[in-house]
C-alpha cells in the first residue's frame, strides 16, 4: 500500500475524481466523485453516481458519460496500485473488478478479493503489551495526557496540516445537584466526540462548564455555617448535598434572618471574602468528588482539569466586563443618518433597552432576525437592568476565551508508515511537561513526537446541549461572528443538539413523584437489571450449580469440608466475574442505547430493549466480542500456545487472507470500512453511524461463525486466515466500542 494509508472510500474517491476530472476537463479537487457504499450487494461494493448529474453539464447521455469515466478510471494506474514493498515483490494489485454500468448510469465497483485481502493484511498486529491504564483516582487529578491508543487498527492520524484544535463543551452539571437523565446524553455524546477526534489526531480540550457560581451558593454557605458538610468518603455525596440544598432553600423561604444571611454571603463571595470563598470551595470540592464517582462509573474521560465552570469567568479575574465593553465598542448601534450598508450576513448591534444591555440581531434585509411572542424584536440580554450578568454573558466570555486564550499543546507528528513498528502508538497529544516515552511504548522513536509548543485558541468549538437551547446558540454564534471572535474561515462553531429521553408514556422521563430521574439511580438499576438477565443465563451454568450446592450445604452432611472449600472459592470467583460482567454490561447498555439512535430525535427509554441480546444493542456486540475471544483462546490452548504466540503465527507475513466463502468476503469488506466510518463520525458528529457499523460487523461475524469453521478448519492455511479474520473483527469491535466509550469483556 502507499505510504499514506487512506480509507477504501477515499482511495476510490480520489481515483474517480481524477477520472471524472479528465472526462469533464476540470481540476480533480473541484470534483465530488459521489462514491458511496453500494445500496445493494448485487451492485457491488461501492458505486459512483456522478454520471447522471454530470451528463447535463456535458450535454451527453448519462450512460455515455459513465462509459467515459469507466474508461478513464480503468486505464493505467487508475485501476492498479503500485506496490514496492518486499512482501509483494512489486506486483500490481488490481483494486477493482471490471467496472459495470447499470440503470441510468450507475457505475458499480466491486473490489477484487486480492485487493481486499491485502488491504486487511496490512493492518499490523495489535500491541501485545499496551501501557496499563491509570486508575481513575490517579487520572482524575492528573494533568498528564490520556493513555495512548493501544491499537489503531492500522488507521493513521490525520497529518499535521489537517490537525484541528477542538474544544468540546459537554456534561456541565450544576454544583450541589445530582446529575439526572438530562445530563446523561450530553455527557456520553460529548465524550464520544472527544475520543473520536483524539483518535483522528486532533488536539482536543474538554471543557466541563459546570454551574459553580450564582445566588444558590449564598444559601449553601449560610446553611453550612451551622451544619456539617457531607463526608466525601461516606455514601452518596451528591444525594446528601442535594438534600442540604433543599433544606437550605426551604429555610431561605421561611426564615427571613437566614435569607438575609444568604444574600450577604453571595455579596461576600463575589467580593472575594476569604471565609465565603473557602466555604464555596469546600462545597465545590465535595460536589466534584460526587461527579468524579459518576464519571468513573460511566467511563467518561472528564477530569478535574477539565472543570472550567461559570466561576472561572468572574472569580479571580473579571472576564465579563471586558467582554461586554468589547461588544459595546465593536457593535455600536447604527445611527439614523447611516445609509443602509450591504448586509450579506446580517448585522448585530449592542445597545441599552429598558435598562438592560442587549445584543440585537438583523438579517440580510436588515429585518429583526428573532422575534418575541408579541412580534417585537428579541434581543440577547448580556447585562441585566440591575447590572448583573447572566448565562449569555458567561457563554460569550467562554467563547472568547476558547477562541483566543485556551492552550493547546501541538505535537509535530508525521503520519507513520505502516508495518515499520507493529501496533504501537503514533500521535497522541503529548504535553511538554510529560517528557519523551512517558507511556512505555517500546518502539524506536523513529517518528518525530516532540512537542513544538503551545498554540492558543481553538479552530473548532463543539457544544453538546439539548435542542431547547438552539435559539440561545444561534444568538451566541451570530454575536461571536459579528464581533470577530470566530471568523468563519478560521473557527468552526457547532451546536450539537440532542432530543429528550422519554418514558413509556412518551413524555420526558420522570419519577413517579414527577422529579428528574437521578443518573446514579438509573445506573444502579441498569446494573441490577443486567444481573437479572445474566442470572437467567447462569441457570445451567456450573456457577449456578455451585450456588445451589452451597445453599444446600448445611443440609447435606455428605459434603466434606474440602469440597465445600473448593465450591466456596469457585462461588466467590464466579460471583466476582458475574458482578464485573453485570456492571460492565449494565452501564454499556445504557450508553449504547443512547448513542445508537440519531441524537436529534427524542428517544423512548426501554430497559428491555437496551438489554436485549438481539438487535442493535450493547450486549449483542459485547457477546460477539466475547465469542470471538473464546475461539481464539480455544485455538491457542488447543495447540498449547499462549495468546501472544498464536497472534505471532496468525499475523505472520506469509499468512494469506482467503476470502473464498461469501461470509468471509462480506466480513472482510466490512472490516475494511471501519476507517471510513470513523472518519465520517469525526466530520458529521453522528455517533449512531458507528453503532450501525458495529452492529453490521457483529452480524457479519455471526454469519461467518455459522458458516466457516475456524479451529476445525480444513487446513492450516484456512485456519490461520480465519483466525486472522476473527482477531481483526475482535479488534474492530473493541476499538469501535472504545470510541463510543464502551469497554468490552473477554468472557461473558
Segment 60 to 79, residues that bind RNA, using CB under 7 A: 62
Q: Tell me the longest C-alpha to C-alpha distance in the chain.
A: 105
583 binds RNA (CB under 7 A): no
Where does this chain touch RNA (CB under 7 A) — which range of 192-200, 248-256, 316-324, 607-615? Answer: 607-615
- d(C-alpha 736, C-alpha 155), whole Å: 12
98 binds RNA (CB under 7 A): no
58 binds RNA (CB under 7 A): no
702 binds RNA (CB under 7 A): yes
Looking at the Cβ atoms of 353 and 407, the one nearer to RNA is 353
10 binds RNA (CB under 7 A): no
Distance in Å, CB of 709 to RNA, minimum: 3
The secondary structure of 572-602, three-state, reads HHHHHHHHHHHHHHHHHHHHHHHHCCCCCCC
Nearest to 739 by CA among 301, 199, 297, 322: 199
313 binds RNA (CB under 7 A): no
Looking at the Cβ atoms of 226 and 706, the one nearer to RNA is 706
CA distances 494 to 226, 394, 461, 599, Å, are 45, 18, 6, 14
Extract the C-alpha cell encoding 638.
488447543
Extract the C-alpha cell encoding 265.
454571603
Q: Which of 21, 52, 229, 553 binds RNA (CB under 7 A)?
A: 52
Looking at the Cβ atoms of 408 and 623, the one nearer to RNA is 623
22 binds RNA (CB under 7 A): no
Looking at the Cβ atoms of 203 and 667, the one nearer to RNA is 667
Distance in Å, CB of 708 to RNA, minimum: 5
Distance in Å, CB of 637 to RNA, minimum: 11
What string marks each residue from 169 to 198 as x (binds RNA by CB under 7 A) or -?
Answer: ------------------------------
Q: Are 25 and 59 within 8 A, CB to CB? A: no
The count of other CB atoms within 10 Å of the CB of residue 333 is 12
705 binds RNA (CB under 7 A): yes
Q: Are 169 and 464 within 8 A, CB to CB? A: yes
What string marks each residue from 386 to 415 as x (binds RNA by CB under 7 A) or -?
Answer: x-x-xx------------------------
Which residues partner with 81 through β-bridges?
93
Can you count the helices (H) and strands (E) in the chain? 23, 17
Distance in Å, CB of 124 to RNA, minimum: 24
- d(C-alpha 329, C-alpha 323), whole Å: 10
Where does this chain touch RNA (CB under 7 A) — which range of 149-157, 248-256, 348-356, 546-554? Answer: 348-356
580 binds RNA (CB under 7 A): no
710 binds RNA (CB under 7 A): yes
Helix (H) or strand (E) holding 490: none
Looking at the Cβ atoms of 135 and 354, the one nearer to RNA is 354
Vertex 742 angle, CA 736 and 746, to 5°: 90
Q: Which of 188, 221, 462, 686 binds RNA (CB under 7 A)?
A: 686
Helix (H) or strand (E) holding 728: helix 716-739
134 binds RNA (CB under 7 A): no
Count of residues that bind RNA according to CB under 7 A: 100
- d(C-alpha 554, C-alpha 433), whole Å: 61
358 binds RNA (CB under 7 A): yes
Name the CA dihedral angle for 603, 605, 607, 609, rounded to a multiple of 10 degrees.
-20
The secondary structure of 195-229, three-state, reads HHHHHCCCEEEEEECCECCCCHHHHHHHHHCCCCC
The dihedral through the CA atoms of 575, 569, 554, 544 has a sign that is positive
Looking at the Cβ atoms of 304 and 703, the one nearer to RNA is 703
Q: Which of 168, 533, 590, 720 binds RNA (CB under 7 A)?
A: 533
Q: Which of residues 252-311 bind RNA (CB under 7 A)?
A: 310
- DSSP notation for 487-555: -TTT-EEEEEEE--EE-TTSSB-B-TTSPBPBHHHHHHHHHHHHHHHHHHHHTTSHHHHHHHHHHHGGG
Q: CA gyration radius for the chain? A: 30
Distance in Å, CB of 329 to RNA, minimum: 21
92 binds RNA (CB under 7 A): no
Q: Which of residues 359-388 bind RNA (CB under 7 A)?
A: 370-379, 381, 384-386, 388
Q: Which of residues 436-465 bind RNA (CB under 7 A)?
A: none
333 binds RNA (CB under 7 A): no
Extract the C-alpha cell encoding 326.
468589547
Q: Which of residues 478-517 bind RNA (CB under 7 A)?
A: 499-500, 506, 508
- d(C-alpha 582, C-alpha 194), whole Å: 26
Where does this chain touch RNA (CB under 7 A) — which range of 149-157, 255-263, 328-336, 682-690? Answer: 682-690
703 binds RNA (CB under 7 A): yes
- d(C-alpha 221, C-alpha 262), whole Å: 7
Amino acid at each position: 500500500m502507499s505510504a499514506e494509508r487512506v480509507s477504501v472510500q477515499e482511495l476510490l474517491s480520489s481515483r474517480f475524481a481524477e477520472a471524472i476530472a479528465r472526462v469533464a476537463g476540470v481540476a480533480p479537487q473541484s470534483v465530488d466523485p459521489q462514491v458511496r457504499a453500494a445500496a445493494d450487494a448485487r451492485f457491488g461494493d461501492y458505486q459512483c453516481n456522478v454520471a447522471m448529474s454530470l451528463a447535463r453539464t456535458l450535454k451527453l447521455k448519462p450512460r455515455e458519460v459513465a462509459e467515459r469515466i469507466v474508461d478513464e478510471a480503468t486505464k493505467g494506474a487508475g485501476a492498479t496500485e503500485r506496490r514496492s514493498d518486499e512482501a509483494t515483490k512489486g506486483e500490481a494489485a488490481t483494486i477493482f473488478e471490471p467496472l459495470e454500468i447499470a440503470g441510468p448510469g450507475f457505475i458499480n465497483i466491486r473490489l477484487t478479493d486480492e485487493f481486499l485481502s491485502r488491504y486487511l493484511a496490512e493492518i499490523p498486529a495489535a500491541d501485545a503489551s499496551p501501557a496499563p491504564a491509570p486508575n481513575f483516582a490517579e487520572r482524575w487529578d492528573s494533568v498528564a495526557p490520556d493513555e495512548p491508543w493501544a491499537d489503531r487498527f492500522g488507521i493513521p492520524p490525520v497529518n499535521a496540516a489537517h490537525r484541528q484544535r477542538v474544544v468540546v463543551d459537554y456534561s456541565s452539571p450544576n454544583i450541589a445537584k445530582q446529575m439526572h437523565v438530562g445530563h446523561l446524553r450530553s455527557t456520553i455524546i460529548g465524550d464520544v466526540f472527544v475520543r473520536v477526534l483524539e483518535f483522528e489526531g486532533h488536539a482536543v480540550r474538554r471543557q466541563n462548564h459546570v454551574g459553580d457560581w450564582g445566588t444558590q451558593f449564598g444559601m449553601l454557605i449560610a446553611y453550612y455555617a451551622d451544619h456539617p458538610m457531607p463526608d466525601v468518603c461516606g455514601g452518596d455525596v451528591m444525594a446528601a448535598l442535594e438534600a442540604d440544598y433543599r433544606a437550605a432553600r426551604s429555610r431561605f423561604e421561611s426564615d427571613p434572618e437566614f435569607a438575609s444571611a444568604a444574600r450577604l454571603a453571595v455579596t461576600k463571595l463575589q467580593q472575594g471574602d476569604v471565609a465565603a470563598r473557602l466555604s464555596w470551595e469546600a462545597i465545590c470540592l465535595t460536589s466534584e468528588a460526587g461527579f468524579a464517582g459518576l464519571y468513573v462509573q460511566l467511563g467518561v474521560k472528564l477530569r478535574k482539569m477539565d472543570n472550567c465552570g461559570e466561576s472561572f469567568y468572574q472569580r479571580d479575574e473579571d472576564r465579563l466586563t471586558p467582554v461586554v465593553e468589547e461588544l459595546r465598542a465593536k457593535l455600536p448601534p447604527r445611527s439614523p443618518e447611516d445609509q443602509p450598508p450591504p448586509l450579506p450576513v446580517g448585522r448585530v448591534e449592542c445597545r441599552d433597552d429598558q435598562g438592560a444591555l442587549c445584543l440585537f440581531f438583523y438579517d440580510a434585509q436588515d429585518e429583526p432576525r428573532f422575534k418575541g411572542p408579541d412580534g417585537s424584536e428579541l434581543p440577547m440580554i448580556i447585562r441585566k437592568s440591575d447590572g448583573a450578568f447572566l448565562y449569555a454573558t458567561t457563554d460569550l466570555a467562554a467563547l472568547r476565551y476558547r477562541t483566543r486564550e485556551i492552550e493547546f499543546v501541538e505535537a509535530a507528528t508525521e503520519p507513520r508508515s505502516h508495518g515499520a513498528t507493529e501496533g504501537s502508538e503514533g500521535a497522541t497529544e503529548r504535553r511538554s511537561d510529560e517528557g519523551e516515552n512517558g507511556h512505555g511504548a517500546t518502539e524506536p522513536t523513529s517518528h518525530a513526537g516532540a512537542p513544538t509548543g503551545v498554540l492558543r485558541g481553538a479552530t473548532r468549538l463543539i457544544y453538546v446541549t439539548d435542542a431547547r437551547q438552539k435559539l440561545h446558540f444561534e444568538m451566541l454564534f451570530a454575536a461571536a461572528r459579528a464581533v470577530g471572535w470566530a471568523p468563519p474561515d478560521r473557527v468552526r462553531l457547532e451546536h450539537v443538539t440532542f432530543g429528550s429521553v422519554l418514558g413509556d408514556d412518551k413524555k420526558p422521563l420522570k419519577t413517579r413523584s414527577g422529579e428528574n430521574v437521578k443518573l446514579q439511580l438509573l445506573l444502579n438499576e441498569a446494573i441490577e437489571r443486567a444481573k437479572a438477565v445474566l442470572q437467567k443465563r447462569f441457570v445451567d451454568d456450573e456457577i449456578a450449580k455451585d450456588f445451589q450446592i452451597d445453599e444446600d450445604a448445611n443440609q447435606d452432611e455428605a459434603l466434606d469440608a474440602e469440597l465445600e472449600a473448593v465450591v466456596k472459592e469457585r462461588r466467590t470467583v464466579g460471583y466476582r466475574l458475574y458482578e464485573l460482567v453485570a456492571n460492565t454490561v449494565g452501564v454499556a447498555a445504557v450508553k449504547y442505547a443512547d448513542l445508537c439512535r440519531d441524537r436529534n430525535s427524542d428517544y423512548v427509554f426501554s430497559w428491555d430493549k437496551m438489554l436485549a441480546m438481539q438487535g442493535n444493542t450493547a450486549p449483542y456486540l459485547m457477546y460477539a466480542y466475547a465469542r470471538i475471544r473464546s475461539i481464539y483462546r480455544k485455538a491457542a490452548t488447543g495447540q498449547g500456545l499462549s495468546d501472544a504466540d498464536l497472534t505471532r503465527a496468525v499475523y505472520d507475513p506469509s499468512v494469506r487472507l482467503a476470502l473464498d466463502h461469501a461470509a468471509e468476503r462480506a466480513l472482510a469488506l466490512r472490516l475494511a470500512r471501519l476507517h471510513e466510518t470513523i472518519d465520517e463520525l469525526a466530520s458529521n458528529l453522528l455517533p449512531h453511524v458507528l453503532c450501525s457499523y458495529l452492529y453490521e460487523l457483529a452480524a457479519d461475524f455471526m454469519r461467518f461463525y455459522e458458516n466457516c469453521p475456524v479451529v476445525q478448519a480444513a487446513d492450516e492455511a484456512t485456519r490461520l486466515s480465519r483466525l486472522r479474520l476473527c482477531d481483526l473483527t475482535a479488534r474492530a469491535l473493541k476499538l469501535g466500542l472504545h470510541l463510543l466509550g464502551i469497554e468490552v469483556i473477554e468472557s461473558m
